[in-house]
């Protein structure tokens, strides 16, 4: 699908396979203040490269404080949807991160060796000015963020040591490590290549936001989301359920665009 339109509104993209970071980007890229900051940014197009193992890498020579204000390392182009824009989220914006110390491989000891390619997922990595690598692994709507220290070459093998910060950190890290381990297993084959389910609540909120930004009234927004037949049958109903639901969707979409998107990064 196209990612931009002549009227200035963000065109929809298929949300199949979206994770929290993808949804966050979809709401953020509709924010006019973000678009204004992006227009003032240099460079406007992220200078990322694709490594030989398929990892997308953005190496930063300096910090971008205005992008960090939005939870990003640098500015992706708001005309591009989540399937097209490499949104490199900042570690401070991510609620849960796996901390990994990459040790040097000792051939004599034959310890556990790993490479990033062992994780069978889409990988986006950013190396900050401090040399720390943040890698976001994504597969079928699930993501895990890795804060990696000690790995000077991202494609090189390493001996992993996962870090805990106190006993209270164990439950959250254990759940993340379970997800991470699943990424080392072959992806289950979907029958007929069926995409993962779409988060209907967020999808409807995004549609409601788009229609609202185009100046549509609540009834017109409801028709776009629920169909003309359902609206004709229920809009004037005693319960006012459909009207209230549409209002809530517009309010939710607006809230997510104006900063609530950070709660989706999880």
Mean pLDDT by 10 residues, the chain (266 residues): 45 80 96 96 82 93 93 94 89 90 78 89 91 90 90 91 86 90 78 68 97 97 96 88 96 98 91
Of 164, 186, 208, the position where a domain reaches its end is 186
Number of domains in the chain: 2
Of 132, 154, 186, the position where a domain reaches its end is 186
Instruction: Please indicate, yes or no, whether residues 154 and 246 belong to a single structural domain of this protein.
Output: no
Instruction: Please indicate, yes or no, whether residues 87 and 126 belong to a single structural domain of this protein.
Output: yes
In the numeric block, the tokens 């490499």 are attached to 86
Instruction: Please indicate, yes or no, whether residues 176 and 215 belong to a single structural domain of this protein.
Output: no
Instruction: Please indicate, yes or no, whether residues 174 and 149 belong to a single structural domain of this protein.
Output: yes
Range of the domain at 118: 20-186
Instruction: Please indicate, yes or no, whether residues 139 and 32 belong to a single structural domain of this protein.
Output: yes
Phi, psi of 240 (to 5 degrees): 60, 20
Instruction: Please indicate, yes or no, whether residues 122 and 50 belong to a single structural domain of this protein.
Output: yes
Phi, psi of 37 (to 5 degrees): -65, -40
Instruction: Please indicate, yes or no, whether residues 227 and 127 belong to a single structural domain of this protein.
Output: no
Of 186, 209, 229, the position where a domain reaches its end is 186
Q: Give the closest residue to 39 by CA, choosing from 10, 59, 66, 17.
A: 66
pLDDT of residue 215: 97
Quote the CA–CA distance of 32 and 38 in Å, as a whole number. Answer: 10
Phi, psi of 264 (to 5 degrees): -85, -10
Quote the CA–CA distance of 126 and 133 in Å, as a whole number. Answer: 6
Inside any domain, residue 169: yes
Which of left, alpha, beta for 139 (phi over 0: left; psi -120 to 50: alpha)?
A: beta
pLDDT of residue 3: 44
CB 134 within 8 A of CB 123: no
Instruction: Please indicate, yes or no, whether residues 205 and 182 belong to a single structural domain of this protein.
Output: no
Instruction: Please indicate, yes or no, whether residues 122 and 63 belong to a single structural domain of this protein.
Output: yes
Instruction: Please indicate, yes or no, whether residues 83 and 134 belong to a single structural domain of this protein.
Output: yes
Quote the CA–CA distance of 219 and 58 in Å, as a whole number. Answer: 44
Inside any domain, residue 237: yes
Inside any domain, residue 78: yes
Quote the CA–CA distance of 181 and 210 in Å, as a whole number. Answer: 38
CA distances from 234 to 208, 238, 244, 252 (A): 18, 9, 12, 22
Q: Which residues does residue 102 pair with via DSSP β-bridges, in sequence order? A: 160
pLDDT of residue 110: 67
Tokens at 91, concatenated: 């570690």
Inside any domain, residue 106: yes
pLDDT of residue 191: 46
Quote the CA–CA distance of 24 and 19 in Å, as a whole number. Answer: 9
Inside any domain, residue 103: yes
Quote the CA–CA distance of 89 and 46 in Å, as a whole number. Answer: 13
Q: How many CB atoms lie within 10 A of CB 74?
A: 25
Instruction: Please indicate, yes or no, whether residues 239 and 114 belong to a single structural domain of this protein.
Output: no
Q: Which residues does residue 58 pair with via DSSP β-bridges, in sequence order? A: 126
Instruction: Please indicate, yes or no, whether residues 110 and 239 belong to a single structural domain of this protein.
Output: no
CA distances from 194 to 188, 189, 190, 191, 201 (A): 11, 9, 6, 6, 20
pLDDT of residue 112: 81
In the numeric block, the tokens 């040399």 are attached to 131
pLDDT of residue 1: 37
């Amino acid at each position: 699908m196209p990612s931009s339109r002549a009227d200035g509104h963000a065109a929809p993209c298929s949300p199949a396979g979206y994770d929290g970071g993808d949804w966050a980007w979809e709401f953020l890229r509709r924010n006019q203040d973000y678009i204004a900051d992006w227009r003032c940014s240099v460079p406007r197009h992220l200078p990322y490269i694709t490594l030989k193992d398929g990892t997308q890498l953005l190496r930063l020579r300096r910090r971008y404080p205005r992008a960090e204000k939005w939870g990003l390392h640098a500015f992706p182009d708001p005309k591009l949807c989540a399937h097209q824009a490499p949104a490199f989220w900042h570690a401070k914006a991510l609620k849960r991160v796996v901390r990994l110390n990459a040790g040097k491989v000792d051939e004599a000891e034959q310890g556990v060796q790993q490479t990033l390619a062992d994780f069978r997922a889409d990988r986006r990595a950013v190396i900050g000015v401090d040399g720390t690598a943040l890698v976001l692994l994504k597969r079928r709507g699930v993501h895990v963020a890795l804060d990696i220290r000690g790995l000077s070459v991202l494609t090189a093998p390493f001996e992993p040591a996962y870090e805990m910060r106190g006993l209270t950190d164990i439950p959250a890290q254990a759940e993340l490590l379970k997800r991470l381990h699943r990424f080392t297993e072959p992806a289950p084959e979907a029958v007929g290549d069926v995409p993962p389910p779409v988060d209907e609540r967020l999808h409807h909120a995004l549609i409601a936001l788009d229609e609202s930004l185009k100046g549509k009234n609540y009834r017109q927004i409801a028709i776009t989301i629920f169909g003309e037949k359902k609206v004709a049958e229920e809009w004037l109903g005693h319960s006012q359920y459909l009207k209230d639901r549409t209002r809530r969707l517009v309010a939710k979409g607006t809230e997510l665009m104006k900063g609530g998107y950070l709660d989706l990064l999880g």
